[in-house]
Structure 1
Amino acid sequence: MTAIAKPRKKNVVSGASITSTAPNKPEAQTTSAEDPASGRDMLVPLDKLAISPSNVRKVHHEEGLIELAALIESQGLLQRLSIVADTDGRFDVVAGGRRLRAMQMLAATGHWPKDQPIECKLYAQGQAVQVSLAENSGRQGMHPADQMEAFRRLVEDGLSVAQVAGRFGVSPLTVERRLKLARLAPRFIDLYRADEIEPDQLQALALIDDPAAQEALWDGLSPYDRSAWRIRNAVTEKACSADSRLARFVGLDTYEAEGGSVRRDLFSSPEDLSGVYLDNPTMLQTLAMDKLRGVEMIVKEEGWSWVACSLEADTSAWRRHGRERQSEREPTPEEAESIERLAAEQRKHAEAYDRHQDEGDPDADDYELIEQQLCEALDLADESLMAARAVLQHWAPAQLARAGALVRLDHRGEIVIERGLVRPEDGKATPREAGDATRPDAEAVEPASTRAEFSEKLMRDLTAHRTAALQAALLQNPQVALAALVHRMSETVFSLYGSGDDIVKVAVRVTSDGTFAEEASEYGDSPAATLLGEAETMWGDRLPGNPEALFRWLLAQPQETLLDLLAYCTARSVNAIAARTRTTANHSDALAQALGVDMADWWVPTAGRYLGHVSKTKALEAVREATGVDATQATAGMKKPDLVSYCAAKLEGTRWVPAPLRPCLVSSGLPEAEADD
C-alpha cells in the first residue's frame, strides 16, 4: 500500500495499550498532534476498529465500496479515520465508517492482513458527536467532469485503460465512457460544470469524434431544441441501426469485414444493438441484396417461370398476384400403406382421448395426467400423418411454367419464400385485378399520354404545403385525428383498401420538417411550420427523456392529454405529397373536408412558392382567375422577374390557390336524392 507521509510522532496500538514509537523530543510535546482538541495521530490494527454508535451517518450505501476499496489498496488511505477509545481496548470510528468498511472488505478478500495498521486520529470520548458531524457536514463529491479529465490525464501519462480501471475499482467500459466524454470539445465540459448541459446530451454529442463537428451540430440546432434525442437523431439520421432487419440479415461482422464504418454509442448497453450505427446504409443494402440473390439462384433451380427478390417487408405491391395451391400426386403403394396405418393410429388416439373426455372422472387424482398423456400421443400421431401426406405435395410442371416465387425479408430480417405466385398478366384477371381503382397502392393519375398541367417538381411542392396544412389542422382536432387513425387500422385489419386511402402512415413513418423543407418552397415561413414547430417543442418538453419512462408517463396521463398527443403523432404521420395531378378525390380530400382546411389560410402564391416556377401564361392565368382581369396586354414585353413581381402584387389578398390546392369534394356515399335532402 502506498501510505501517506507519516507524522514525526506516531502512537501504535498493541492490544489495549498505546505506546509511543517516536523519540521523546521536547518539540513533540507542543505539536498540534498532542493537542487534545485536535486529536492525536496513531496507528491501530484494522481488527481493533468498529463503527461508533456516535457516528452521525446512519444511512449507508453499498454502491461504490468496491471502487473505494480499490482506491485505498492502490493509493493508500489518504484521509485518517477519526476514532475514540472504547472501554474494552477497542476503538470506535466516529468519522470514516465507509472507508473502514472498504478496508474490512480488503481484509475479507485476502488483499490485506486482518491486523493491517490503519492511520487514525484519536479524540476524546466527549468529542465523538461533534467530530463526526463536522466531517460529514458540507461534504461534496467530485464533479463527474473533474473525474473525466483526471482519467484522461492518467491515460495521457502512460496508464492503460485497464490499469486505470483496476486502480479505481471501476470497469474498463466505465473508464472508456469517461474518456469519451473527456475528449469532447472543452466548451461542453465547461457547460457541464456550469450545469448548462445534461449528461445525456453529452453522451449524444460523443457520437461525433471531431470536436469542431460537435460544436457545429450544437450551434446548428435551435437553443430550444437541443435535446439528447434531437442531437442523436441529427448524428445518426442517415445511419442504420445494427438492430434493423437489414443489419441482422447481413450481420455486423460481414458489414465490417467489407469495410463498412460503424459508430458505437458507448453509453448504451453492450448487448443493445440499437446503440450501434452503420454509417453506410447503401453498402448494407447492397450486401443484403447480394445475400438475397444467392437464395434467389437456389429457388430458380426449382424450375419457376420467374423468381423475384425484395428487401421490402411490405407486401402490398404483391396483393394483385394470384396464388397457386400445391398439387398432390398419387402415393406409391408403400406410401399409401404407411398413410393408412398412420391414419388408423391417429383415429385410435383420437377415440381414446374422446373416450377419456366422456367417461373419465374429472375428480380422479390421475385424470389430468392421463389427459395430458393422451393429448401428447394424439398430437404426435397428427404430426406423423401430416408429414406423410406432405411428401405427396408438389408443384406440377404446368404450375412451375405459369407461376413464380418471391424471395423477401420479413420485418424480423428473416428470409421468406412465397412460391406459386401468379402475375396478373399471366393468369385470368379478376374484376378486382382489372382496374386500378381498387388497388391499395394505386393512384388515379392522368393518362401517360396526356401532357401534365403542372410539373412533377411543382406538384410535389404544392402538395407538400397541403400535407403540412393537413398535419397542422389535425393536431388541432384530436377527434378527426382519432377517426383517421382508426380508419387506417380498420382498413389494414379488414383489408378494406381504397384508392389513396393510405395517406395516414400508421407504421409510423414521420413526415418531418426536414421533408417539408426539401419539398415545400419557403416552408419555414408558413403558418403550418409555426404551429407544428410550437407543438414539437411543447411535446418535447413534456415527454420524459428516456424510453423506459415514456410508457409509465403515458399511463399516468388523462385521456385528454393522450388524445392531444395522438392527434400530434397522427398528424405527423400524414404524407399526401404527390408527383402527379389527381383526377379523382382520395382520402386526403376527405380528410381536408372533415377538417375544413382552406389552403388559402395556409398558403399564398409568392414568387418563391408558385409564380417563379410556372410559365408566364400560367402566372397571368392565376391573376385572371383571382381578379377577373386579363393582364396580358399590361405585361407585354415584361421580363419574367418583373412579370412575377407584378402578378404577386395582383394576387396579394385574393386568397387564390392553384387547382392542386383547391378542395375536391368527396361523395357522402348516399343516394343522390338522400344527399340532396
Structure 2
Amino acid sequence: MSAKSVETIVESGTEVFIPLNKLKKSPKNARKTPHSDAAIEALAASIAAKGILQNLVVEPELDGEGAATGFYVVTIGEGRRLAQLLRVKRKEIKKTEPIRCIVDTVNDAHEISLDENVTRENMHPADQFEAFKKLADERGFGAEEIAARFGVTAQVVRQRLRLAAISPRLMQVYRDGDLTLEQLTAFALTEDHARQEAVFDRLSYHRDASIIRRLLTETHVPATDRRARFVGIEAYVEAGGTVLRDLFTEDRGGYLEDVALLDLLVTARLGREADALRAAEGWKWTEAHLDFPRAHGLRRVYPHQVELSAEDQAALEAARNQIDQLSEWHQTTDEIPDHVDVRFCELEAEIDRLEAKRQAYDPDDVARSGAFVILSHDGDLRIERGYIRPADDKPRSQPEQPGDASESLEVGGAGGEAAEGGEGEGDGEENGTDDEEEDCPLSDLLVRDLTACRTLGLRLNLSEQPGIAIVAMTHALAAQIFYVGANAHVVGIQPNKTDLASHAGGIEDTAPGKAWADRHANWARQLPRDVACLWTFVAALDYDSRMALFAHCVALTVNAVKLPWERRQRALATADRLAQAVELDMTGYWRPTARSYLGRVTKARILDAVREGTGTEAAKRIADMKKLDMADAAEQLLAATGWLPALLRTPKHDQGRVGEPPNEQTGATYPLAAE
C-alpha cells in the first residue's frame, strides 16, 4: 500500500506520513525506563545514514470526549521518535519532518508495545563482530565511518573488528558457549591465530582472562618496564619495534614484542652515556651495566668538601633569594600560576647544581678510578663513581684511605653487601717481636704469653670504662665498614651486613634507599683518609657525633628480612621489639601502590586493605573491578590513609621507652631498662 497523508487516511492498518511535531509518547508504552542517551545517539546516527528502517506504530490521540486532537501517540518506535528529535536539535532536520507510520487502532496498544520488546532475540555477538568486519573488508569503511553510521565510538568499532579477527577455532568455541566474552577479549590481545590457539591448548579448567593475557605476553615486555621507559616507546618504534596493544583493558602503553631490539637499544644508550660521562668528568674508565655489578670487588673513593667560588656562591644566594621572594609573594595563593611553578623548578634545579659543586673528587682519584653507569629500577640513569681496579690501586705499603676502601654498602643501595675479600683475622699482622736486642729476639711463645696478659689487662680496664668501650666499638665497626681489608680493629666484633637489594629489587632507588646512601656517603667523606688516624678521629668526636657514627654502623647490621626457608622467629620477634624501641612508623618510608603491594596481591587482599583503610562502602564500590583497575583505584583510596600491611606495622608498646641519657661528666652510659 502506498503511503498517504495523515489528513486523508486514518484507518487502522494504513501507512501514513505524520509530521514529527504531531507525534507524542504513548502513555500505554510498556517501557517505563527511559532510553539511554547512548541508545538514542546510536539510533540518530543510524537514521542519518540509512533512514528509518522500521515504521513507527501509532494511534490517534483522543480528548476527554473521544474526539481526535490531531496528534498521534507512538505505541512502537519511541526511541526512533526521540532520535529524530535529537536530529532536530542538531538542526539536521526540521521539526515538521514527515515520519512513516502505521496506524493501529485494533490491537491493544500496551500489549503490542510489550510484544515489541519481548518477542525478539538479539543477534549473537560473534555475528555482530563478523558483520562489522564485513563492512570494513567489502565496503572499505574505516573505524570512524562505521562508528558514525551506527552511533558508537571508533574505539568500540576497533574492539569489534579485533574480536572478529579471532581464530575461527576459538570463535566457534565462543559460539558453543565454552568461552565467555571476557575470555575472548583476552585472546584478542594478539591477532596471531597460532599464538591464540597455542595458549588456549595450554589452559586448564581455570581460564581466567588475566591468565590468558599473561600467557599471551609472557615473552613480551610491558611498556612500564624500566628498559622501555629508559629507551622510550617512540625510539623503540622508530627502530622497527612493534607494540602489542590491548583494546579492552588499560594496558599502560602496551607490550613490546621485540625484546632483543629493546635490549640492544638499552645497551647502546647506556654505552653512550658511559662514554659521555668519561669524556665530561675525566674518569679513567666507565662501564655500562643493566644492574649494579655487586660482586665487583673494587675499592672506592669518595668526594670531599670544597668551597664554592665567589661567583658560584653569589649565584647560589641569588637563586635562594628568588625562591624566598616567590614563596612570600604567593604564600596566600591557593593555586600557583604555571609560569611561577616553572620558575620554582628552574631555581631548585640551579640550587641543586650549585650545591653539587661543594663535593669534588681529588684529581688523582679521578685519574685512577672509574664509574658504573646503571639503569635504575625506575628507568632512570644511575651513576656510581669512584671505584678503583686492583691494578690501579696504591701499593699496600701506603696509608689506607676510606675512599680507597671498597665500602660494603654501595651508594644508592638500601642495605649493605657482605664485605668483599673478608677481614682475614690476623693476616699480614706483625708478630710483635721485640727488636730491642737484635741478636736475641723473643720467642713466639713468650710473645703470645705477654700479649695475652696485656689483652687481659685491657679487658679488665675497658670493662670499667663504658665510654671508652663505645669508642672501641665504634672504631671496630667503622674500620671494617669503611676500610674493608685494612684489619685495623682490635675489638673482635664484626658487622654482618645484608644486601637488601638482593631481596627487594629497586629498593636502592626509593627515597629511603637514597637517604641511607646519602647518609653513608656523608660519613665516608668525614672519616680520615688514613685508617691509622681513625682511633684519634673517633675519640675526638663529641658524644653526640660519636654515638651517631656508632648508631649508623650498628644500623647497617640490622637484618629483619623474613625468608621462607629460615626459621628466625626469635630474631624477628626481637625486630618487633627494636621497632617499638625506635618508634618505627613505616608510613614515612612506604605507601601502598599498585607496584609496591596492591598489584602483587589477590583481589580479596586489595579489598581487605581498602576496607581497613577507608571503610566498607569504598570497598564495595571497587569490588566488581578487574584486578589492575582495582589496584589503581585502591592506590588512590589509600593514598592519604596511612594504611600498612601487617608485616610493616609496629606492635604497640608494652613498656616504656628503653635507654637513659649519658652521664656527661663521666662519659658513662646508664644500663638500659630491662624489657
For 1:408, give the aligned amino acid.
I
Offset of 1:421 from its aligned partner?
Answer: 4.8
Alignment pair present for 1:54 and 2:28: yes
Q: Give secondary structure in 1 for the equivalent of 2:54.
A: coil
Superposed CA deviations along residues 223-282 of structure 1, whole A, max 9, x for unmatched, are x1222122211111111012222112212232233233332223235xx434x2212212
For residue 98 of structure 2, the aligned residue among 110, 117, 126 is 117
Supply the distance in 1 between the matched residues of 2:23 and 2:129 (Cα, whole angstroms).
34
Equivalent residue for 1:173? 155
Kept in 1: contact 2:126–2:164 (CA 8 A): yes
Are the structure 2 counterparts of residues 329 and 190 from structure 1 closer, same or farther at C-alpha, using a change threshold of 3 Å? same
For residue 377 of structure 2, the aligned residue among 401, 408, 411 is 411
Alignment pair present for 1:548 and 2:629: yes
Supply the distance in 1 between the matched residues of 2:348 and 2:88 (Cα, whole angstroms).
65
Supply the distance in 1 between the matched residues of 2:599 and 2:104 (Cα, whole angstroms).
69
Equivalent residue for 1:663? none
For residue 65 of structure 1, the aligned residue among 33, 37, 40 is 40
Supply the distance in 1 between the matched residues of 2:198 and 2:349 (Cα, whole angstroms).
63
Q: Give secondary structure in 1 for the equivalent of 2:38.
A: coil
Equivalent residue for 1:9? 2
Equivalent residue for 1:304? 283
Alignment pair present for 1:399 and 2:365: yes
Structure 2 unaligned runs (5+)?
62-67, 394-403, 407-478, 486-493, 503-562, 585-594, 601-622, 638-643, 648-675
Query: How many percent of aligned residue pairs carry the same amino acid?
Result: 31
Offset of 1:194 from its aligned partner?
Answer: 3.7
Equivalent residue for 1:260? 241
Offset of 1:303 from its aligned partner?
Answer: 0.9
Offset of 1:186 from its aligned partner?
Answer: 2.6
Kept in 2: contact 1:543–1:550 (CA 8 A): no
Superposed CA deviations along residues 434-481 of structure 1, whole A, max 9, x for unmatched, are 4996453899xxxxxxxxxxxxxxxxxxxxxxxxxx97x99xx9x98x
Alignment pair present for 1:431 and 2:480: yes
Q: Give secondary structure in 2 for the equivalent of 1:19.
A: coil
Are the structure 2 counterparts of residues 508 and 421 from structure 1 closer, same or farther at C-alpha, using a change threshold of 3 Å? farther
For residue 440 of structure 1, the aligned residue among 476, 499, 502 is 499
Kept in 2: contact 1:410–1:416 (CA 8 A): yes
Are the structure 2 counterparts of residues 149 and 381 from structure 1 closer, same or farther at C-alpha, using a change threshold of 3 Å? closer
Are the structure 2 counterparts of residues 554 and 197 from structure 1 closer, same or farther at C-alpha, using a change threshold of 3 Å? farther
Are the structure 2 counterparts of residues 209 and 380 from structure 1 closer, same or farther at C-alpha, using a change threshold of 3 Å? closer
Equivalent residue for 2:129? 148
Are the structure 2 counterparts of residues 397 and 213 from structure 1 closer, same or farther at C-alpha, using a change threshold of 3 Å? closer
For 1:42, give the aligned amino acid.
V
Kept in 2: contact 1:161–1:176 (CA 8 A): no
Offset of 1:74 from its aligned partner?
Answer: 1.8
Q: How many residues align?
A: 435
For 2:159, give the aligned amino acid.
R
Kept in 2: contact 1:45–1:118 (CA 8 A): yes
Equivalent residue for 1:513? none
Equivalent residue for 1:287? 265
Structure 1 unaligned runs (5+)?
1-7, 21-32, 357-365, 444-469, 495-504, 511-541, 557-562, 568-677
Kept in 2: contact 1:322–1:424 (CA 8 A): no
Are the structure 2 counterparts of residues 326 and 214 from structure 1 closer, same or farther at C-alpha, using a change threshold of 3 Å? same
Q: Give secondary structure in 1 for the equivalent of 2:266.
A: helix
Supply the distance in 2 between the matched residues of 1:367 and 1:218 (Cα, whole angstroms).
60
Supply the distance in 2 between the matched residues of 1:367 and 1:111 (Cα, whole angstroms).
51
For 1:428, give the aligned amino acid.
A
TM-score for the superposition, normalised by structure 2: 0.54
For 1:66, give the aligned amino acid.
E
Equivalent residue for 1:185? 167
Equivalent residue for 1:451? none
For residue 44 of structure 1, the aligned residue among 7, 14, 18 is 18
Are the structure 2 counterparts of residues 320 and 62 from structure 1 closer, same or farther at C-alpha, using a change threshold of 3 Å? farther
For 2:288, give the aligned amino acid.
C
Please show how residues 595-614 of structure 1 align to structure 2 within 5 Å.
none
Supply the distance in 1 between the matched residues of 2:140 and 2:344 (Cα, whole angstroms).
67
Offset of 1:415 from its aligned partner?
Answer: 1.7
Q: Give secondary structure in 1 for the equivalent of 2:248.
A: coil
Please show how residues 52-131 of structure 1 align to structure 2 within 5 Å.
52-60=26-34, 61-86=36-61, 87-124=68-105, 127-131=108-112
Offset of 1:308 from its aligned partner?
Answer: 2.2
Offset of 1:101 from its aligned partner?
Answer: 1.1
Alignment pair present for 1:236 and 2:217: yes
Offset of 1:44 from its aligned partner?
Answer: 0.8
Q: Which moved more, 1:141-150 or 1:189-198?
A: 189-198
Offset of 1:75 from its aligned partner?
Answer: 2.2
For 2:127, give the aligned amino acid.
D
Are the structure 2 counterparts of residues 200 and 89 from structure 1 closer, same or farther at C-alpha, using a change threshold of 3 Å? same
Please show how residues 336-355 of structure 1 align to structure 2 within 5 Å.
338=314
Are the structure 2 counterparts of residues 291 and 44 from structure 1 closer, same or farther at C-alpha, using a change threshold of 3 Å? same
Kept in 2: contact 1:306–1:404 (CA 8 A): yes
Kept in 1: contact 2:298–2:387 (CA 8 A): no
Q: Give secondary structure in 2 for the equivalent of 1:120.
A: strand
Are the structure 2 counterparts of residues 254 and 382 from structure 1 closer, same or farther at C-alpha, using a change threshold of 3 Å? closer
Supply the distance in 2 between the matched residues of 1:340 and 1:114 (Cα, whole angstroms).
71
Superposed CA deviations along residues 330-377 of structure 1, whole A, max 9, x for unmatched, are 735x667x489869x97xx89xx9xx9xxxxxxxxx99859x99xx99
For 2:499, give the aligned amino acid.
P
Equivalent residue for 1:132? 113
Equivalent residue for 1:196? 178
For residue 255 of structure 2, the aligned residue among 272, 277, 283 is 277
Are the structure 2 counterparts of residues 403 and 107 from structure 1 closer, same or farther at C-alpha, using a change threshold of 3 Å? same
Are the structure 2 counterparts of residues 188 and 324 from structure 1 closer, same or farther at C-alpha, using a change threshold of 3 Å? same
Supply the distance in 2 between the matched residues of 1:64 and 1:232 (Cα, whole angstroms).
31
For 1:56, give the aligned amino acid.
A
Supply the distance in 1 between the matched residues of 2:298 and 2:106 (Cα, whole angstroms).
91
Offset of 1:293 from its aligned partner?
Answer: 1.0
For 1:253, give the aligned amino acid.
E
Kept in 2: contact 1:544–1:553 (CA 8 A): no
Supply the distance in 2 between the matched residues of 1:134 and 1:114 (Cα, whole angstroms).
29
Offset of 1:294 from its aligned partner?
Answer: 0.9
Are the structure 2 counterparts of residues 322 and 200 from structure 1 closer, same or farther at C-alpha, using a change threshold of 3 Å? farther
Equivalent residue for 2:191? 209
For 1:440, give the aligned amino acid.
D
Offset of 1:180 from its aligned partner?
Answer: 1.8
Q: CA RMSD in A?
A: 5.1
Kept in 1: contact 2:308–2:357 (CA 8 A): no
Supply the distance in 1 between the matched residues of 2:312 and 2:190 (Cα, whole angstroms).
66
Superposed CA deviations along residues 140-178 of structure 1, whole A, max 9, x for unmatched, are 433321211111222332332243333222233322221
For 2:33, give the aligned amino acid.
V
Q: Give secondary structure in 2 for the equivalent of 1:273.
A: coil
Equivalent residue for 1:603? none
Supply the distance in 1 between the matched residues of 2:275 and 2:356 (Cα, whole angstroms).
24
Q: Give secondary structure in 1 for the equivalent of 2:235.
A: helix
Q: Give secondary structure in 2 for the equivalent of 1:105.
A: helix
Are the structure 2 counterparts of residues 89 and 509 from structure 1 closer, same or farther at C-alpha, using a change threshold of 3 Å? closer
Kept in 2: contact 1:436–1:442 (CA 8 A): no
For 1:308, give the aligned amino acid.
E
Kept in 1: contact 2:316–2:354 (CA 8 A): no
Please show how residues 521-670 of structure 1 align to structure 2 within 5 Å.
545-549=626-630
Supply the distance in 1 between the matched residues of 2:598 and 2:344 (Cα, whole angstroms).
44
Equivalent residue for 1:528? none
